[in-house]
């Protein structure tokens, strides 16, 4: 049943420690009932910070001339995928700035095939490489990728326009989500929470947008200002606690409303609180995306201020992560793709 907007607004307007705890508990109950308490891990490779776009909020936008641009080589990316396999993460996420040139398209195709081959098909591959043509989405799907993450950023067209240059199009982004679905990918989208001018009504509409699109996965996180973007002026009034709370409320409301989809507890939550990602799991999320990018590249992929884990290797992180997840009373879905129950249901 389509979620009721009035109820969504109420959930998102929750205030006060006890009421918030009650909201998170309710979401956790829904999570237990519909998806269980197994956390699925996706090793995240930040493949390149080269981007042709210029989104006003993003630290790696093309207009940031202070950034040294990098692209991880094929061999390095394959080595990271091997590490992912050795650590028993069932899936890998390849993320980067947006590029549509042929060299890039072929590089990604070769990499997808290489990862499939080295893991004998065991590693699931998720892409987060922005807006592309149908043929490109198809080519990557045929090479072996099976999930795609493309955040709509906000479902409010006017708000979207205020956050992007005129040559970035909300309609094109939406169309791309449809193309991705058409190709057969499991589709993930999401929004930034706490954008300038965003209201509770917008966030409630975002949840209805996710429902109407029939998404399989969500990756959402608080917006955090970056010093080298047009939105840097927001840093002064930025409250990490408020941003964290709104991010957790949105996760909880999505879990309550959408029930059996996968929801990631994103790094942006951890940037705001050392236990932000665990808080996300307690508020209804069930997926974590540990960063497996070689630490020498991490400085170059600062989307926002204070991104954590700059010097922490994947192995160091894994040890801590296990402890933290077990402490919550949850288990880890090692060596599993961890497709969303929502997607499995549609398939059957
Ligand atoms: N370039 C691809 C795209 O835009 O879909 C994938 C990489 S992009 C860096 C991944 C996500 O980072 C974006 O969808 C956006 O939501 C998020 N992001 C960028 N700047 C951010 C900021 N200042 N605070 C929080 N999230 C941010
Ligand atoms: Fe590029 Fe993605 Fe950042 Fe926009 S959000 S500037 S497309 S990396």
Residue 294 three-state SS: coil
CA-nearest of 119, 68, 54 to 90 is 119
What confidence tens digit (pLDDT) does each residue in 110-159 have? 999 999 999 999 999 999 999 999 999 999 999 999 999 999 999 999 99
Instruction: Say how many C-beta atoms besides its own lie within 10 A of residue 173's C-beta.
Output: 18
- Cα Rg, the chain, nearest whole Å: 19
- 306 Cα to the center of ligand 2, angstroms: 18
CA–CA gap between residue 224 and residue 268 (Å, rounded): 8
Atom number, ligand 1, closest to the C-alpha of residue 51: 1
Element (H, E) at 316: helix 314-327
Mapped to the 3 state alphabet, what secondary structure does 52-95 carry?
A: CCCCCCCCCCCCCCCCCCCECCHHHHHHHHHHHHHCCCCEEEEE
Q: Provide the residue count of the chain.
A: 348
- Predicted confidence (pLDDT) at residue 315 exceeds the cutoff of 90: no
What confidence tens digit (pLDDT) does each residue in 251-298 have? 999 999 999 999 999 988 989 999 999 999 999 999 999 999 989 999
Instruction: Say how many C-beta atoms besides its own lie within 10 A of residue 119's C-beta.
Output: 18
- Predicted confidence (pLDDT) at residue 327 exceeds the cutoff of 90: yes
- Predicted confidence (pLDDT) at residue 321 exceeds the cutoff of 90: no
Calculate the CA 92 to chain-centre distance. Answer: 13
For atom 13 of ligand 1, the residue with the nearest CA is 151
Are 295 and 310 in contact, with CB atoms under 8 Å apart? Answer: yes
User: What pTM did the predictor assign?
Assistant: 0.97
- 30 Cα to the center of ligand 2, angstroms: 33
- 288 Cα to the center of ligand 2, angstroms: 21
What confidence tens digit (pLDDT) does each residue in 29-82 have? 999 999 999 999 999 999 999 999 999 999 999 999 999 999 999 999 999 999
Calculate the CA 64 to chain-centre distance. Answer: 22
């Amino acid at each position: 049943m389509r979620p009721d907007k009035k109820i969504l607004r109420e959930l998102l307007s929750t205030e006060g420690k006890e009421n918030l705890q009650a909201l998170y508990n309710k979401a956790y109950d829904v999570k237990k009932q519909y998806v269980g308490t197994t956390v699925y891990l996706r090793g995240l490779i930040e493949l390149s910070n080269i981007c042709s776009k210029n989104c006003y909020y993003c630290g790696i936008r093309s207009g940031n001339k202070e950034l040294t641009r990098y692209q991880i080589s094929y061999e390095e990316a394959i080595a990271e995928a091997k590490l992912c396999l050795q650590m028993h993460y069932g899936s890998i996420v390849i993320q980067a700035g947006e590029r549509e040139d042929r060299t890039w398209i072929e590089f990604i195709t070769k990499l997808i095939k290489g990862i499939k081959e080295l893991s004998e098909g065991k590693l699931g591959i998720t892409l987060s490489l922005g807006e592309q043509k149908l043929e490109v989405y198809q080519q990557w799907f045929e090479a072996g990728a099976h999930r795609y993450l493309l955040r709509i950023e906000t479902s409010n067209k006017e708000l979207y326009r205020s956050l992007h240059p005129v040559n970035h199009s909300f309609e094109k982004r939406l169309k791309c989500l449809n193309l991705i679905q058409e190709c057969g990918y499991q589709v993930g989208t999401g929004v930034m929470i706490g954008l300038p001018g965003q209201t509770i009504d917008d966030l409630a509409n975002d949840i209805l947008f996710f429902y109407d699109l029939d998404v399989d996965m969500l990756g959402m996180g608080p917006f955090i200002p970056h010093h080298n973007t047009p939105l840097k002026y927001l840093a002064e009034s930025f409250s990490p606690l408020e941003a964290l709370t709104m991010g957790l409320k949105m996760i909880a409301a999505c879990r309550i409303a959408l029930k059996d989809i996968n929801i990631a507890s994103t790094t942006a939550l951890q940037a705001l609180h050392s236990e932000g990602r665990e808080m996300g799991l307690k508020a209804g999320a069930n997926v974590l995306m540990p960063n497996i990018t070689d630490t020498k590249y991490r400085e170059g992929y600062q989307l926002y201020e204070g991104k954590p884990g700059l010097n922490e290797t994947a192995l160091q992180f894994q040890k801590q992560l296990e402890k933290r997840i077990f402490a919550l009373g949850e288990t880890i879905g090692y060596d599993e793709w961890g497709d969303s129950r929502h997607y499995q249901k549609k398939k059957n």
